Structure formats: C-alpha cells, structure tokens
Amino acid sequence: MYMERKTLRSTMFSLVGVLVALQASSVRGLQIYTTGNGADSTATPEPGLLLAGGGRDVDSAMRWFRDRVNGGDLVVLRASGSDGYNDYLYHQLPGVRPDSVQTLVIDRRSDAYNGAVLRILERAEGIFIAGGDQADYDAYWRGTPVEDVINEKVAAGTPLGGTSAGLAILGSTAYVARSLSIYSSEALADPYHDYATLEHDFLDVPGLEDLVTDSHFSQRSREGRLAAFTARVLADTPADVARGIGVDEDAALTIDHRGEVTFHGPSNRSATLLRLIDDDLSLTPGQPLTAGPYLEYVLDDGGGFDLDGWRPSGSTGATRTWFAYENGARIDLGNLGDLNFDGVLDAGDLDLLSQTPDHPDGDLNLDGLRDEQDLAFLVRAVMGTELGDANLDGRVDLTDLSTLAFHFDEQDRSWATADFNADGRVDLLDLSILAGGFGFERSAGLPEPSAGLTLLGLMAVSVRRVPG
C-alpha cells in the first residue's frame, strides 16, 4: 500500500575491521536477514522515538535513531520485502555502526510465536518498523508475543522507530487500514466509516498515549482524516484530551526521553501536531464530524516541540492554528482567546472574559455555554498554565503567592493582582484557587497534592491584610 525506500541488496561485502556476513535463514519459512555480528551485544541503548512519514528516509533522523542503539543490535521488522534496510543502516550512514542489523520478515501470524523471532527481538537494542501495509502488522502481530516483546522493550528504554505503515501503528490508537485507505472527505463525513478501521490496543509506547499517527500527510491531504481519527480517540477511549501527529513524506520527527521533538526534513516538508479538547464530544456513526476546538501546530525545518507541554520549543517555534469542525466543515477560530483583539494572549483577555459574561466570543470550549469553564479552558488549554498563575509565566509558585499577599483584601482588582475568581476582591477564595494549583509548572503537569498542603502552611506568614 505504501511506498518506501528500498536500497539494492549488496552482492559483496569486504572485511574492514569486522567481518560482515549477510545471510538469509529459513526457520519453517521465516526470513531472517543478518548483517554484522550475529552474537548478542552487551550495549546499553538510549531511549528515543523516530516517527517517519514515508517516502525517502531522512539521513539525519535515521542517524539520530541509530546512534541511540549505541553500537548494539538493531532489528528491522516488516511483513513483506527483504533486507532493504540492512546495508543502509549498517554501512551507509556515518556515525556509530551497530553491532548488527537483523531484518525479520514476519508475514504470517504463526511467525509471531516463533522462538527465533522472539529471541532476536528480546536481544535488540533498537527496533525499527519498516513501511508496507499496516493491515498486515495488525493481522500478524497484534495480540501476539511479538507485540508483547516490543512493548516490554520500549518500556525498558529501547529506542523504537517506524516509517509509513510502521509509523501508523506507533500511537496508542492505530489506523490499521484493514479495508481500503480512507480519504479525508470520507472520514469527515463519517468518523465511523467502514474504512476508518482503528485499534486502541496495539502498541503501548511511552509518550504516545492518547495519540494517533498518520504518514504521507500533506502529500495525500490527510488533515481531515487525522482530525476524525483524533476525535475517535477522545470518543472511544478514556482519554480526556486526544492528540494526533501527521508527518509528511521525506520528513521525520525524533523524540528524546524528555519529550523534546525535533523536525528533520527539507524546507518544503512539515509535520502537524494536533490536539483536541472537547469535553462534550459526541460522535454518531453515519453523521459528519462536529468537534473542537482543535489546536494545531505545524513544524518545519529546524522546528522543535515539547510533547509533554504541547508547545513549541527552541527559537524557531511553529505555526499555531485553532479550528473546529461542524458537520464535516472546518471552521477557523483565529487566535482563540484574544478577546480584545490586540494580538496577544494575556491577563487582559482573562479580565475581559470574566467581566463580560455575554461576550459574543466567550464560548471558548464550544460547549454552548458562557461560564466559568471558559475561563478555565482559556487558562489551561489555550495559555498552557494553571489557575493561580497571576503573572502567566507557566508556573504557580511563591511569586504568585507574593502578588496575592500584596493585594490581599483589595477591591476592584484583576487577574494580574490575583483576583482569580473575578469577584472584585482578593481574598481567601483566591488563595484557595492558588493553593489548588500551587506547584504547577508547564510541562510538569498537575501539582502533587503535597504542594497545596505546603502552601497552606505558608498562608499565615505570607498573607497580609492591607489596612482600611
């Protein structure tokens, strides 16, 4: 189904420091291609993920991935083809050469129970899933010991990568394409279309939870179907927020152990990172997609991203867009939350939202209501911080507590002076809100319960009343 890089199989190898043996073994029909040292390596790999969009392999991304193997044994998994990656990964890329590259062609379900296959996978210091047809991976690997070993290895820190069909199965929700490939128009017209075959119990990859991936993204106009797939993640699983990643052909993303994403590819390629926040999402089979808002970032050459905090990182940033779908049609939401239209998201927008309950653009979470949930949505989902962050620096800390203490018992105040509930007074209710978020730091997630208890211990010495 999908095209991928296929290098010509080498016909001769020379001895240069190490004997490179290329051999094809047959164990009851199983194809195993080995380049390099067939013995088990003792190398210790570094965790990392490679998400490649298909087409031509990106050397910088493939080298990044191979370097994480740290000279160990790299295993290529596929369900068709042969040894097309062996020479490329062992010989052609510069840098630290792996101890071996072994390709396993698992083209029937019984092979996924084969002891030779499992031993090779268990000894791997890196696993790369080639392109092909993800329906085969679903049919031959899902629910077998091969799936179990991959999950165990990745959980233990073994780097994992995939391209094209191999990318399609890396997310916690996998588009397995069991029928014909679905077009965006079909997925938007009905997210439960017969061709929208998703599985939520395939691979379990740390960092890719509540997430679906797609390849050949821009070249095959797949934004609509990724939006529909992402909505299915939210509707069909316990996820509170769903994410999607689409990678162009000839491009790739690398993700390190901290969740730092780096784009690799030419200037005319990109990757799309999609997030859906919709507490009231309701999908009906046979009905067009109505969902949103979606937050979309587009990374291109040199772009970086913080996957955990879901925001750009580094100096290049990324293009950000808010949109929704109504009856299958995309609606551009502009700079969501910029209620005073000054081009900046700041405390002024929070004050305007709080003080103007009937603001025409105040239903930010698109639930049909204008209430306090819109303020929480603006703070958390749009600004990426937490209630109690008076200076909006992405942290709820002693600086915010100091601001509250300085303005305590004052009236006619604003968000910036710690009137978080917009009742016109800085009081114990605002302190309670701050305590609930105390310890929050962008990318670190929700605060530990002990953080709020620590703050309560500081209240007596931190809060002063302003006379009169």
Name the residue with tokens 């004997």.
19
Choose one of 318, 334, 350: the last residue of a domain. Answer: 334
Same domain, 99 and 206: no
Same domain, 71 and 188: no
- To 10 degrees, the CA torsion angle through 59, 62, 64, 66? -130
Q: Is residue 101 part of a domain?
A: yes
Q: Is residue 192 part of a domain?
A: yes
N- to C-terminal Cα separation, the chain: 75
pLDDT at position 191 is: 98
Reply yes or no: is the peptide bond before residue 293 cis, omega within 30 of 0. Answer: yes
Name the residue with tokens 């990859």.
205
Contacts of 443 (CB under 8 A, 6+ apart): 259, 306, 308, 309
pLDDT at position 316 is: 60
The CATH number for 407's domain is: 1.10.1330.10
Q: Is residue 364 part of a domain?
A: no
Tell me the C-alpha distance between 167 and 152, whole Å: 18
Same domain, 111 and 192: no
Q: Is residue 246 part of a domain?
A: yes
Q: Is residue 380 part of a domain?
A: no
- What are the C-alpha distances in Å from 341 to residues 295, 311, 319, 355, 451? 19, 22, 19, 16, 36
- How crowded is residue 468: how many other Cβ atoms within 10 Å of its Cβ? 4
Same domain, 400 and 428: yes
Same domain, 143 and 2: yes
Tell me the C-alpha distance between 107 and 184, whole Å: 29
Q: Is residue 16 part of a domain?
A: yes
Same domain, 205 and 308: yes
Q: Is residue 106 part of a domain?
A: yes
Q: Is residue 117 part of a domain?
A: yes
pLDDT tens by residue, the chain, 468 residues: 433 333 333 333 333 333 333 444 444 478 999 999 989 999 999 999 999 999 999 999 999 999 999 999 999 999 999 999 999 999 999 988 999 999 999 999 999 999 999 999 999 999 999 999 999 999 999 999 999 999 999 999 999 999 999 999 999 999 999 989 999 999 999 999 999 999 999 999 999 999 999 999 999 999 999 999 999 999 999 998 899 999 999 999 999 999 999 999 999 999 999 999 888 899 999 999 999 999 999 999 878 899 988 888 865 667 888 999 999 999 999 888 888 888 888 999 999 999 888 888 888 888 888 888 999 989 988 888 899 999 999 899 999 999 999 999 998 789 999 999 989 999 999 999 999 999 998 755 445 445 544 555 545 444 444 433
* Sign (positive or negative) of CA dihedral 108, 113, 117, 121: positive
pLDDT at position 4 is: 37
pLDDT at position 188 is: 98
Same domain, 231 and 303: yes
The CATH number for 17's domain is: 3.40.50.880
Q: What is the 3-state secondary structure (H, E, C) of the chain?
A: CCCECCCCCCCCCCCCCCCCEEEEEEECCEEEEEEECCCCCCCCCCCCEEEECCECCCHHHHHHHHHCCCCCEEEEEECCCCCCCHHHHHHHCCCCCCCEEEEEECCCHHHHHCHHHHHHHHCCCEEEECCCCHHHHHHHCCCCHHHHHHHHHHHCCCCEEEECHHHHCCCCEEECCCCCCCCHHHHHHCCCCCCCCEECCCCCCCCCCCEEEECCCCCCCCHHHHHHHHHHHHHHCCCCCEEEEEECCCCEEEECCCCEEEEECCCCCCEEEEEECCCCCCCCCCCCCCEEEEEEEEECCCCEEECCCCEEECCCCCEEEEEEEECCEEEEEECCCCCCCCCCCCHHHHHHHHHCCCCCCCCCCCCCCCCHHHHHHHHHHHCCCCCCCCCCCCECCHHHHHHHHHHCCCECCCHHHCCCCCCCECCHHHHHHHHHHCCCECCCECCCHHHHHHHHHHHHHHCCCCCC
Same domain, 1 and 120: yes
Tell me the C-alpha distance between 162 and 79, whole Å: 13
pLDDT at position 30 is: 85
Same domain, 90 and 205: no
Same domain, 135 and 57: yes
Same domain, 97 and 178: no
Choose one of 334, 351, 379: the last residue of a domain. Answer: 334
Choose one of 334, 353, 372: the last residue of a domain. Answer: 334
Indicate the number of domains in the chain.
3
Same domain, 425 and 308: no
Tell me the C-alpha distance between 104 and 111, whole Å: 10
Domain range enclosing 143: 1-161
**Burial profile 170-188: b = 16 or more Cβ within 10 angstroms, e = fewer:** bbbbbbbbbeebbbbebbb
